[in-house]
């Protein structure tokens, strides 16, 4: 919980600066590239997150990362500030919160479709269009296959959940039958 609050605070700070210089999407892309690089090199992220390593060593690591990922001077100063303030361990959460702020600013809702089988691209696009009409926002959905739901689909966009899975329906039937019997 504390990490989420800290991440949101720093993400908001960078987002305000990004708005002032008119580069909210550019900063978002740079942060995504940084996150992807750290995902590919978990040992580097681990070193940045480890409290045993001193800030000057973390700053050297950051300098090497910045050679691989080109970022705006404001983003570079932001990352160095995170190291100085010993908040670099929250970088993945900060990137996620920044993306949330960016999506809100651009009117984008992200979510997930869970299906028992792989959905065709046109099915996914059809669901996105229906949600776009419902939410009055641009919708971007990722898909996940979970054979345990038996059939149907479950859609989650933020706090909104549409659950039309057979597994859930069977569970409800079971509860109804138990309630009737008792």
Percentage of residues in the chain having pLDDT higher than 70:
98
Distances (CA, A) of 61 to 8, 41, 179: 24, 12, 60
What pLDDT does 50 receive?
87
Which structure tokens are listed for 156? 């989650």
What pLDDT does 49 receive?
83
Q: 97 with 163, same domain?
A: no
Task: Please name the residues in contact with 14: beta carbons below 8 A apart, sequence gap of 6 or more.
Answer: 27, 74, 75, 78, 94, 98
- Ranges of residues in the chain whose predicted pLDDT is under 70: 1, 181-182
What pLDDT does 181 receive?
60
Q: 45 with 113, same domain?
A: no
Q: 113 with 157, same domain?
A: yes
Q: 61 with 88, same domain?
A: yes
Which structure tokens are listed for 105? 């600013």
**Domain end position, chosen among 104, 120, 154:** 104
Strand-by-strand arrangement of the 160-163 sheet: 138-145, 108-115, 153-157, 160-163
**Domain end position, chosen among 74, 104, 134:** 104
The total domain count for the chain is: 2
Q: 70 with 8, same domain?
A: yes
Nearest to 76 by CA among 86, 89, 64: 64
What pLDDT does 1 receive?
67
Q: Which domain, by its residues, includes 78?
A: 2-104
Nearest to 78 by CA among 67, 65, 88: 88
Confidence (pTM): 0.80
What pLDDT does 13 receive?
96
Q: 120 with 154, same domain?
A: yes
Q: 142 with 175, same domain?
A: yes
DSSP for 114-136 reads EESSPPPHHHHHHHHHHHHHHHT
**Domain end position, chosen among 79, 104, 129:** 104
């Amino acid at each position: 919980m504390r990490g989420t609050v800290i991440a949101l605070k720093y993400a908001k700070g960078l987002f305000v600066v990004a708005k002032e210089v008119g580069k909210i999407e550019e900063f978002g892309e740079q942060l995504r590239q940084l996150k992807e690089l750290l995902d590919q090199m978990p040992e580097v992220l681990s070193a940045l997150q480890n409290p045993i390593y001193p800030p000057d060593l973390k700053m050297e690591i950051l300098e090497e990362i910045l050679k691989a990922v080109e970022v705006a001077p404001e983003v570079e100063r932001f990352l160095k500030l995170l190291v100085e303030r010993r908040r670099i361990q929250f970088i993945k959460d900060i990137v996620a919160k920044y993306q949330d702020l960016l999506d809100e600013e651009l009117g984008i809702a992200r979510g997930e479709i869970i299906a028992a089988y792989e959905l065709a691209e046109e099915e996914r696009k059809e669901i996105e269009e229906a949600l776009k009409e419902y939410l009055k926002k641009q919708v971007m959905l990722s898909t996940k296959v979970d054979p345990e739901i038996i059939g149907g689909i479950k859609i989650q966009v933020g706090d909104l959940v549409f659950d039309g899975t057979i597994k859930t329906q069977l569970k409800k039937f079971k509860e109804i039958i138990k309630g009737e019997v008792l």
